[in-house]
C-alpha cells in the first residue's frame, strides 16, 4: 500500500471518529507541519499552537478531504498556512493594543470591586474542573501536569516515561474534548446566568 493510499485510509478512519487513526496521522506529520508553521510564525509556542489547531481541524473536517484532489500533505499545509497567518494577525493586533488595554484594565480594577470577577473566576473554575473529571485518566494526567503543575510537554514525557508524541497527542485530544464539554455546558439553562460571560 502506498503512503498516499495509507493517508486516504487514515482520513477515512478519522472521519469515522477513530482517535487512534488521528494519533497515527499526528505522529507521521507533526514534525513536518511544525517546521512549516515555524518558518511562517518564527515562534515555537505559536508554531505549536498552529499544529494543535491544524489537527483539531483535521479531526473536525476529515470528511472534506478528497484524495482525488491532491496529496494529503498539500491539503494540510494549505490549512496550516491559513492558521499561521491568522495567528500572526491576531498577535499583531494584540501587541498594538496591549499597552492601552493593560492601563485601562488596571484603572478599572482600582476603581471597581472584584466581586463579579471573583464569581466569574469561581464559576469558570467549577466548569473546567467538571469537564476535566470527564476526561480519561491519561488525558487528565497530562492536562493537570501542564496547566496546573506548570510542566512542559517534554517534562511530562520524562516524568511519566511517556513518548513525547503520545503526550502531544493526549494534550491535543484532551483540549478538543474539553472544548466540546465546555461548549455543551454553555447550552445548559444555568450556564447563561446574567453578568457571567465565559
Tens digit of each residue's pLDDT (9 = 90 or more) over 158-174: 999 998 888 888 888 88
Residue % of the chain over a pLDDT of 70? 73
Q: Largest Cα–Cα distance of the chain, in whole Å?
A: 67
Residue 197: pLDDT band with limits 50, 70, 90: very low
Model pLDDT for residues 69-101, shown as the tens digit of each residue: 788 999 999 999 999 999 888 877 655 555 545
If one compares 196 and 105, the residue with the highest pLDDT of the two is: 105
Other CB atoms within a 10 A radius of the CB of residue 50 amount to 27
- pLDDT value of position 15: 92
Q: Which residue has the higher pLDDT, 148 or 141?
A: 141
**Contact residues for 145 (Cβ-Cβ < 8 A; gap 6+):** 151, 155, 156, 159, 160
The predicted model scores a pTM of 0.49
In the predicted structure, residue 2 carries a pLDDT above the cut 70: no
Whole-number pLDDT of residue 192:
38
Instruction: Look at the alpha carbons of 110, 111, 115, 117 in this order and tell me if their dihedral is positive or negative.
Output: negative
On the question of pLDDT at 51 being above 90, the answer is: yes
d(CA 187, CA 5): 40
Amino acid at each position: 500500500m502506498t503512503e498516499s493510499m495509507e493517508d486516504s485510509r487514515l482520513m477515512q478512519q478519522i472521519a469515522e471518529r477513530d482517535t487512534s487513526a488521528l494519533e497515527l496521522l499526528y505522529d507521521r506529520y507533526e514534525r513536518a507541519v511544525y517546521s512549516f508553521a515555524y518558518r511562517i510564525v518564527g515562534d515555537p509556542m505559536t508554531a505549536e499552537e498552529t499544529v494543535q489547531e491544524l489537527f483539531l481541524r483535521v479531526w473536525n473536517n476529515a470528511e472534506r478531504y478528497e484524495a482525488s484532489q491532491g496529496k494529503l500533505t498539500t491539503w494540510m499545509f494549505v490549512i496550516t498556512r491559513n492558521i499561521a497567518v491568522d495567528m500572526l494577525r491576531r498577535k499583531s493586533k494584540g501587541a498594538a493594543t496591549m499597552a492601552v488595554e493593560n492601563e485601562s484594565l488596571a484603572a478599572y480594577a482600582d476603581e471597581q470591586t472584584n466581586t463579579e470577577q471573583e464569581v466569574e473566576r469561581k464559576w469558570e473554575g467549577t466548569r473546567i474542573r467538571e469537564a476535566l473529571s470527564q476526561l480519561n485518566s491519561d488525558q487528565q494526567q497530562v492536562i493537570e501536569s501542564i496547566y496546573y503543575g506548570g510542566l512542559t510537554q517534554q517534562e511530562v514525557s520524562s516524568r511519566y516515561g511517556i513518548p513525547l508524541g503520545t503526550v502531544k497527542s493526549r494534550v491535543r485530544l484532551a483540549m478538543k474534548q474539553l472544548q466540546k464539554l465546555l461548549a455543551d455546558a454553555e447550552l445548559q439553562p444555568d450556564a447563561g446566568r446574567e453578568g457571567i460571560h465565559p
